[in-house]
Amino acid sequence: MLHVPRPNRPTIGTPGVGKTTLGKELAARTGLTYINVGDLAKEGNLYEGFDEEYTCPILDDDRVIDELETKMSEGGIIVDYHSCEFFPERWFDIVFVLRTDNSFLYNRLESRGYQGKKLQDNIQCEIFQTIYEEARESYREEIVHQLPSNTPEDLESNLEQIVQWIEQWMKDNN
């Protein structure tokens, strides 16, 4: 783990669980810097190809890591991405995995234009806790936490919980 003046933390989960909404609001409330890895990759063309089946670019993990390394070492970064296994463990003090009931998730993904295999695979990913299990395998189990993300009340509760954690981290580490 890096020794930085402000904590780094990712918000991960299946597409549609509310990572971007949570990350942006958290940045507004805490002054931490929000980085959406998808946007970062798009701006820097950090791809290694295109997946025809899912109609999306394939991220170049190594180039993303290189692009983020300096920012992460400075601290105070909220990373938004659906996956986490390629991020170095030393980057994060705590990992939050957002989880959404499939009845909510299906409607959210469908409204984004997801259909067919892409829609079904993302729903199955949530059913089988794929992202959560990936996080538990990639990081120390005690720093990985699941948060429900179904309703506006869940969002507010998650924000309050994470802000409290950040405040405590700042007291303990500064």
Tell me the angle at which helices 61-74 and 37-44 cross, rounded to the nearest 10 degrees.
Answer: 120
Length of the chain: 174
14 is in an annotated binding site: no
16 has binding-site annotation: yes
Cα 54 from Cα 114, distance rounded (Å) = 9
20 annotated binding-site participant: yes
**What is the four-CA torsion angle of 44, 8, 32, 23, rounded to 10 degrees?**
70
State whether the Cα torsion 70-71-75-79 is positive or negative: negative
Tell me if 18 is assigned to a ligand binding site: yes
Whether residue 8 contacts residue 74, with contact meaning beta carbons closer than 8 Å, is answered with no
> What is the amino acid identity at position 163?
V
Report whether 75 belongs to an annotated binding site: no
Binding site, by residue number, is: 16, 18-21, 112
Binding site for ATP, by residue number, is: 16, 18-21, 112
